[in-house]
């Protein structure tokens, strides 16, 4: 069974618009990671969240972990073409990282 | 920052042949390296974890004899796909960690196509 569910699976957004990607876990998250992957390339680490209610920002990307530590959201403000790619959430699970299926983000100029 | 390279970036091989993929940590010593496989529109799946100088730990369902992993040094791990079949075609990504497993740095991936 898929432990990490990401939504939406795919997203098309007009440049300049805001967007949110969600990652939901069936179990408590003790470490939640967000990565960005350009098509056919490796993963780029964005942020790590560990505490309930934690929020981190980097440039125009903000990630939050809810108080119950079962859901995280990634919010991009004023999207740009450089934000296009696949966003994956990952979670600590038994000394390894498990991943969601990813959200494919397309930015329309 | 920590850089991990993979070689080759793309490889095409014929069914029945073996292909080796290298994963190198360029500016740090990786005590642990991870090999992942990524299918289109699927999660990144961990195949195995390797620690330098010891045998790799394979995830359930991953054939040890088919996917040979060697972690001979603190900067190099190799994945050899033996007797490749078309269903082995995939995107293989490695990552390296010098300390905690969650501090993984990912390579750019290798696209394997078996014809």
- A85 contacts: CB under 8 Å, gap ≥ 6: A36, A37, A38, A39, A104, A105
pLDDT, residue A95, reads: 77
Return the residue of B nearest to A104 by Cα. Answer: B41
Give the confidence band of A40 by pLDDT, cuts at 50, 70, 90.
confident
Closest by Cβ to A92, choosing from B41, B45, B102: B102
| B101 vs A19, residue with greater confidence | A19
pLDDT, residue A96, reads: 83
Closest by Cβ to B109, choosing from A9, A40, A100: A40
**Start-to-end Cα distance in chain A:** 37
- Taking CB atoms and an 8 Å limit, are A96 and B91 in contact across chains? no
Give the C-alpha separation, A54 to A14, whole Å.
28
Give the confidence band of A58 by pLDDT, cuts at 50, 70, 90.
confident
Kindly state the average pLDDT of the residues A81-86.
Answer: 96
Q: Assess B54–A contact: CB distance below 8 Å, yes or no.
A: no
pLDDT digits (tens, 9 = 90+) for B72-114: 899 999 999 999 999 999 999 999 998 777 788 999 999 999 9
- Taking CB atoms and an 8 Å limit, are A42 and B4 in contact across chains? yes
pLDDT, residue B2, reads: 80
Return the residue of A nearest to B3 by Cα. Answer: A44
- Taking CB atoms and an 8 Å limit, are A4 and B43 in contact across chains? yes
Q: Assess B92–A contact: CB distance below 8 Å, yes or no.
A: no
- B107 contacts: CB under 8 Å, gap ≥ 6: A42, B4, B5, B6, B23, B93, B94, B95, B96
Return the residue of B nearest to A88 by Cα. Answer: B43
DSSP H or E run through B81 = strand B76-81
Taking the CA of residue B2 and the nearest CA in chain A, the distance in Å comes to: 11
B59 close to B47: Cβ distance less than 8 angstroms: yes
Give the C-alpha separation, A30 to A49, whole Å.
8
pLDDT, residue A1, reads: 53
Give the confidence band of B8 by pLDDT, cuts at 50, 70, 90.
very high
Taking the CA of residue B16 and the nearest CA in chain A, the distance in Å comes to: 25
pLDDT digits (tens, 9 = 90+) for B43-73: 889 999 998 888 899 999 999 999 999 988 9
């Amino acid at each position: 069974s898929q432990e990490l569910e990401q939504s939406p699976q795919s997203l098309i957004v007009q440049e300049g618009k805001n967007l949110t990607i969600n990652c939901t876990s069936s179990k408590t998250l003790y470490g939640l990671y967000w990565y960005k992957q350009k098509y056919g390339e490796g993963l780029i680490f964005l942020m790590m969240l560990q505490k309930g209610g934690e929020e981190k920002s980097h440039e125009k990307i903000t990630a939050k972990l809810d108080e119950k530590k079962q859901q995280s959201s990634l919010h991009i403000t004023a999207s740009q073409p450089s934000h296009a790619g696949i966003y994956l959430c990952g979670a600590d699970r038994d000394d390894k990282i498990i991943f969601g299926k990813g959200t494919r983000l397309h930015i329309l100029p | 920052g920590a850089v991990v390279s993979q070689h080759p970036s793309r490889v095409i091989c014929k069914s029945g042949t073996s292909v080796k993929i290298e994963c190198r940590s360029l500016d740090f010593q990786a005590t642990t390296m991870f090999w992942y496989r990524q299918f289109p529109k699927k999660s990144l799946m961990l195949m195995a974890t390797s620690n330098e100088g010891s045998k790799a730990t394979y995830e359930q369902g991953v054939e040890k004899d088919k996917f040979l992993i060697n972690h001979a040094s603190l900067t190099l791990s190799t994945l050899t796909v033996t007797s490749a079949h078309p269903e082995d075609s995939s995107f293989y990504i490695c990552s390296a960690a010098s300390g905690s497993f969650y501090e993984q740095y990912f390579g750019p991936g290798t696209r394997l196509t078996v014809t």
